Protein backbone atom coordinates (compact mmCIF):
# COMPACT_ATOMS: atom_id res chain seq x y z
CA UNK A 1 0.00 0.00 0.00
CA UNK A 2 1.27 3.51 -0.77
CA UNK A 3 2.10 5.82 2.10
CA UNK A 4 -0.47 8.39 3.19
CA UNK A 5 0.78 11.86 2.18
CA UNK A 6 -0.36 14.97 4.05
CA UNK A 7 0.37 18.52 2.90
CA UNK A 8 0.88 21.08 5.69
CA UNK A 9 0.84 24.83 4.92
CA UNK A 10 3.51 26.70 6.90
CA UNK A 11 4.70 30.31 7.22
CA UNK A 12 3.16 32.50 4.49
CA UNK A 13 3.66 30.26 1.46
CA UNK A 14 5.69 27.16 2.45
CA UNK A 15 4.67 23.52 2.56
CA UNK A 16 5.87 20.64 4.70
CA UNK A 17 4.75 17.05 4.13
CA UNK A 18 4.07 13.97 6.20
CA UNK A 19 4.42 10.47 4.75
CA UNK A 20 2.75 7.87 6.98
CA UNK A 21 2.75 4.09 6.84
CA UNK A 22 -0.35 2.76 8.66
CA UNK A 23 1.04 -0.77 8.97
CA UNK A 24 4.24 0.11 10.82
CA UNK A 25 3.17 3.47 12.23
CA UNK A 26 6.30 5.09 10.85
CA UNK A 27 5.88 8.72 9.81
CA UNK A 28 8.37 10.89 7.95
CA UNK A 29 8.35 14.68 7.86
CA UNK A 30 9.78 16.36 4.77
CA UNK A 31 11.22 19.78 5.71
CA UNK A 32 10.41 21.80 8.81
CA UNK A 33 9.55 25.43 8.01
CA UNK A 34 7.92 26.02 11.42
CA UNK A 35 6.98 23.77 14.31
CA UNK A 36 3.42 24.82 15.16
CA UNK A 37 1.38 23.60 12.18
CA UNK A 38 3.40 20.37 11.92
CA UNK A 39 3.02 19.50 15.60
CA UNK A 40 -0.70 20.29 15.41
CA UNK A 41 -1.15 17.94 12.44
CA UNK A 42 0.74 15.13 14.17
CA UNK A 43 -1.35 15.55 17.32
CA UNK A 44 -4.62 15.64 15.39
CA UNK A 45 -3.75 12.38 13.62
CA UNK A 46 -2.15 10.67 16.59
CA UNK A 47 1.07 10.06 14.69
CA UNK A 48 4.66 9.95 15.98
CA UNK A 49 7.56 11.00 13.82
CA UNK A 50 10.15 8.37 12.98
CA UNK A 51 12.12 10.31 10.33
CA UNK A 52 12.77 13.87 9.21
CA UNK A 53 13.96 14.35 5.63
CA UNK A 54 15.63 17.68 4.90
CA UNK A 55 15.99 18.87 1.31
CA UNK A 56 18.32 21.86 1.73
CA UNK A 57 19.64 24.30 4.30
CA UNK A 58 17.50 27.41 3.74
CA UNK A 59 15.93 28.69 6.94
CA UNK A 60 12.36 28.34 5.69
CA UNK A 61 12.89 24.59 5.38
CA UNK A 62 14.72 23.85 8.64
CA UNK A 63 13.98 26.46 11.33
CA UNK A 64 11.08 24.52 12.85
CA UNK A 65 13.16 21.42 13.47
CA UNK A 66 14.34 22.02 17.07
CA UNK A 67 10.81 22.53 18.36
CA UNK A 68 9.59 19.45 16.51
CA UNK A 69 12.37 17.21 17.80
CA UNK A 70 11.62 18.28 21.38
CA UNK A 71 8.28 16.48 21.12
CA UNK A 72 9.13 13.92 18.42
CA UNK A 73 12.68 12.56 18.63
CA UNK A 74 13.28 11.22 15.11
CA UNK A 75 16.10 10.25 12.79
CA UNK A 76 17.16 13.36 10.83
CA UNK A 77 18.31 12.68 7.26
CA UNK A 78 19.91 15.11 4.83
CA UNK A 79 22.56 15.52 2.18
CA UNK A 80 26.17 14.83 3.08
CA UNK A 81 27.14 17.65 0.71
CA UNK A 82 25.03 20.09 2.74
CA UNK A 83 25.76 18.66 6.21
CA UNK A 84 28.01 21.57 7.20
CA UNK A 85 25.05 23.99 7.10
CA UNK A 86 22.09 21.73 7.90
CA UNK A 87 20.95 20.98 11.44
CA UNK A 88 22.79 17.98 12.95
CA UNK A 89 22.11 14.88 10.86
CA UNK A 90 21.74 11.30 12.07
CA UNK A 91 22.08 9.98 8.53
CA UNK A 92 23.92 11.62 5.63
CA UNK A 93 22.87 10.67 2.10
CA UNK A 94 23.97 11.33 -1.47
CA UNK A 95 22.64 10.89 -5.00
CA UNK A 96 21.66 7.27 -5.63
CA UNK A 97 21.37 6.28 -1.97
CA UNK A 98 18.34 4.36 -0.72
CA UNK A 99 16.72 3.88 2.65
CA UNK A 100 13.27 2.77 3.81
CA UNK A 101 10.24 4.29 5.49
CA UNK A 102 7.59 1.82 6.52
CA UNK A 103 9.20 -0.81 4.31
CA UNK A 104 8.99 1.45 1.24
CA UNK A 105 12.22 2.41 -0.55
CA UNK A 106 13.16 6.08 -0.67
CA UNK A 107 15.57 7.10 -3.44
CA UNK A 108 17.81 10.14 -3.01
CA UNK A 109 18.28 12.43 -6.01
CA UNK A 110 20.82 15.24 -6.10
CA UNK A 111 18.93 18.17 -7.62
CA UNK A 112 21.44 20.96 -7.08
CA UNK A 113 20.84 24.32 -8.72
CA UNK A 114 18.73 26.34 -6.30
CA UNK A 115 21.43 25.43 -3.79
CA UNK A 116 24.42 23.14 -4.10
CA UNK A 117 23.64 19.96 -2.18
CA UNK A 118 19.85 20.23 -2.58
CA UNK A 119 18.28 16.76 -2.67
CA UNK A 120 14.88 15.35 -3.60
CA UNK A 121 13.33 12.17 -2.22
CA UNK A 122 11.52 9.80 -4.60
CA UNK A 123 9.19 7.07 -3.33
CA UNK A 124 8.40 4.89 -6.36
CA UNK A 125 5.78 2.68 -4.69
CA UNK A 126 3.80 5.71 -3.55
CA UNK A 127 4.54 7.53 -6.84
CA UNK A 128 5.60 10.74 -5.10
CA UNK A 129 8.70 12.91 -5.21
CA UNK A 130 9.50 15.62 -2.67
CA UNK A 131 11.30 18.33 -4.64
CA UNK A 132 11.19 21.39 -2.34
CA UNK A 133 12.75 24.29 -4.29
CA UNK A 134 14.08 22.40 -7.33
CA UNK A 135 11.09 21.49 -9.50
CA UNK A 136 8.03 23.48 -8.44
CA UNK A 137 4.47 23.67 -9.72
CA UNK A 138 4.87 25.48 -13.08
CA UNK A 139 8.29 26.68 -12.00
CA UNK A 140 11.69 25.97 -10.52
CA UNK A 141 13.79 27.55 -7.79
CA UNK A 142 16.03 30.54 -8.37
CA UNK A 143 19.67 29.74 -9.03
CA UNK A 144 21.09 31.07 -5.78
CA UNK A 145 24.18 28.83 -5.78
CA UNK A 146 24.15 26.58 -8.84
CA UNK A 147 24.15 27.48 -12.52
CA UNK A 148 21.82 26.84 -15.44
CA UNK A 149 23.65 23.70 -16.57
CA UNK A 150 23.37 22.19 -13.10
CA UNK A 151 19.68 23.04 -12.71
CA UNK A 152 18.77 21.82 -16.20
CA UNK A 153 20.45 18.49 -15.38
CA UNK A 154 18.50 18.30 -12.12
CA UNK A 155 15.17 19.10 -13.77
CA UNK A 156 15.88 16.58 -16.54
CA UNK A 157 16.52 13.94 -13.88
CA UNK A 158 13.16 14.68 -12.27
CA UNK A 159 11.38 14.79 -15.64
CA UNK A 160 12.57 11.24 -16.30
CA UNK A 161 10.34 9.94 -13.49
CA UNK A 162 6.95 8.43 -14.43
CA UNK A 163 4.19 10.82 -15.47
CA UNK A 164 1.89 9.65 -12.67
CA UNK A 165 4.34 10.90 -10.01
CA UNK A 166 2.98 13.49 -7.58
CA UNK A 167 5.35 16.44 -7.17
CA UNK A 168 5.41 17.73 -3.59
CA UNK A 169 7.21 21.06 -3.89
CA UNK A 170 8.01 23.57 -1.20
CA UNK A 171 6.00 26.71 -1.92
CA UNK A 172 2.65 28.10 -3.05
CA UNK A 173 4.12 30.05 -5.96
CA UNK A 174 1.96 28.46 -8.63
CA UNK A 175 -0.28 31.38 -9.52
CA UNK A 176 2.62 33.76 -10.15
CA UNK A 177 4.48 30.99 -11.98
CA UNK A 178 1.43 30.53 -14.18
CA UNK A 179 1.29 34.19 -15.14
CA UNK A 180 4.91 33.98 -16.22
CA UNK A 181 4.54 30.64 -18.05
CA UNK A 182 1.95 32.13 -20.40
CA UNK A 183 4.50 34.72 -21.56
CA UNK A 184 6.84 31.90 -22.63
CA UNK A 185 4.25 29.49 -24.03
CA UNK A 186 1.18 31.57 -24.97
CA UNK A 187 -0.46 29.11 -27.36
CA UNK A 188 -0.30 26.02 -25.12
CA UNK A 189 -3.96 25.07 -24.58
CA UNK A 190 -3.07 22.69 -21.73
CA UNK A 191 -1.27 25.53 -19.97
CA UNK A 192 -4.14 27.96 -20.48
CA UNK A 193 -6.57 25.43 -19.01
CA UNK A 194 -4.24 24.86 -16.07
CA UNK A 195 -3.98 28.61 -15.43
CA UNK A 196 -7.77 28.78 -15.22
CA UNK A 197 -7.85 25.86 -12.76
CA UNK A 198 -5.10 27.41 -10.64
CA UNK A 199 -6.88 30.75 -10.44
CA UNK A 200 -10.08 28.99 -9.40
CA UNK A 201 -8.28 26.92 -6.75
CA UNK A 202 -6.60 29.94 -5.21
CA UNK A 203 -9.83 31.95 -5.25
CA UNK A 204 -11.34 29.13 -3.20
CA UNK A 205 -8.34 28.96 -0.87
CA UNK A 206 -7.20 25.55 -2.11
CA UNK A 207 -3.57 24.51 -2.45
CA UNK A 208 -2.07 23.88 -5.89
CA UNK A 209 0.57 21.54 -4.45
CA UNK A 210 1.13 18.62 -4.96
CA UNK A 211 1.05 18.74 -8.74
CA UNK A 212 1.24 15.96 -11.32
CA UNK A 213 4.53 15.36 -13.11
CA UNK A 214 2.88 14.53 -16.44
CA UNK A 215 1.08 17.87 -16.30
CA UNK A 216 4.33 19.60 -15.41
CA UNK A 217 6.00 18.08 -18.47
CA UNK A 218 3.17 19.40 -20.65
CA UNK A 219 2.91 22.91 -19.17
CA UNK A 220 5.98 23.91 -17.12
CA UNK A 221 8.28 25.97 -19.37
CA UNK A 222 11.31 25.18 -17.21
CA UNK A 223 11.02 21.51 -18.22
CA UNK A 224 10.55 22.26 -21.90
CA UNK A 225 13.72 23.98 -23.10
CA UNK A 226 13.88 21.45 -25.97
CA UNK A 227 10.36 22.29 -27.21
CA UNK A 228 10.52 23.85 -30.71
CA UNK A 229 7.54 26.13 -29.99
CA UNK A 230 9.17 27.58 -26.90
CA UNK A 231 12.49 27.94 -28.70
CA UNK A 232 10.71 29.79 -31.52
CA UNK A 233 8.91 32.06 -29.03
CA UNK A 234 12.30 32.98 -27.56
CA UNK A 235 14.03 33.35 -30.94
CA UNK A 236 16.33 30.46 -30.04
CA UNK A 237 15.39 27.72 -32.54
CA UNK A 238 17.94 24.89 -32.38
CA UNK A 239 19.80 26.38 -29.42
CA UNK A 240 21.43 24.35 -26.65
CA UNK A 241 18.70 23.46 -24.11
CA UNK A 242 20.89 24.81 -21.31
CA UNK A 243 20.98 28.21 -23.02
CA UNK A 244 17.21 28.11 -23.57
CA UNK A 245 16.64 27.18 -19.93
CA UNK A 246 18.97 29.98 -18.82
CA UNK A 247 16.99 32.47 -20.91
CA UNK A 248 13.70 31.30 -19.38
CA UNK A 249 15.13 31.47 -15.85
CA UNK A 250 16.55 34.93 -16.50
CA UNK A 251 13.20 36.19 -17.77
CA UNK A 252 11.46 34.80 -14.69
CA UNK A 253 13.97 36.54 -12.42
CA UNK A 254 13.05 39.83 -14.09
CA UNK A 255 9.31 39.13 -14.34
Could you tell me how far CA 29 lies from the centroid of its own chain?
14
Is 171 labeled as ligand-binding? yes
Q: Which residues contact 191 (CB under 8 A, 6 or more apart)?
A: 178, 181, 182, 185, 218, 219
Determine if residue 196 is labeled as part of a ligand binding site. no
Could you tell me which of 30, 90, 91, 87 has the C-alpha nearest to residue 59? 87
3-state SS, residue 155: helix
For residue 30, the SS3 value is strand
61 annotated to bind ligand: yes
| 3-state secondary structure at position 250 | helix
Was 57 annotated as part of a binding site?
Answer: no
Whether the CB-CB separation of 214 and 161 falls below 8 Å is answered with no
- Is 58 marked within a binding site? yes
Q: In terms of DSSP bridges, do strands 27-30 and 51-53 run parallel, antiparallel, or are they unpaired?
A: parallel
Burial of residue 122, with CB atoms counted within 10 A of its CB: 0-12 exposed, 13-18 middle, 19 or more buried = buried
Residue 72 marked ligand-binding: no
Q: Return the sign of the alpha-carbon dihedral for residues 55, 47, 39, 68.
A: negative
DSSP state of 204: T
Binding-site residue ranges: 56, 58, 60-61, 114, 133, 171
Binding-site residue ranges for Zn(2+): 56, 58, 60-61, 114, 133, 171
Amino acid sequence: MPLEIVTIPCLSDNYAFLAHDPASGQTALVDAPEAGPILAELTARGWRLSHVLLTHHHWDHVDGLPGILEQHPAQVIGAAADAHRLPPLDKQVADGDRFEIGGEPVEVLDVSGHTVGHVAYYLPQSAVVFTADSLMALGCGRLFEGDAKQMWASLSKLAALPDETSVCSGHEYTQSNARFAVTIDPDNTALLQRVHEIDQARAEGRATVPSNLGEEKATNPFLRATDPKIQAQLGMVGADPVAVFAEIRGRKDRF
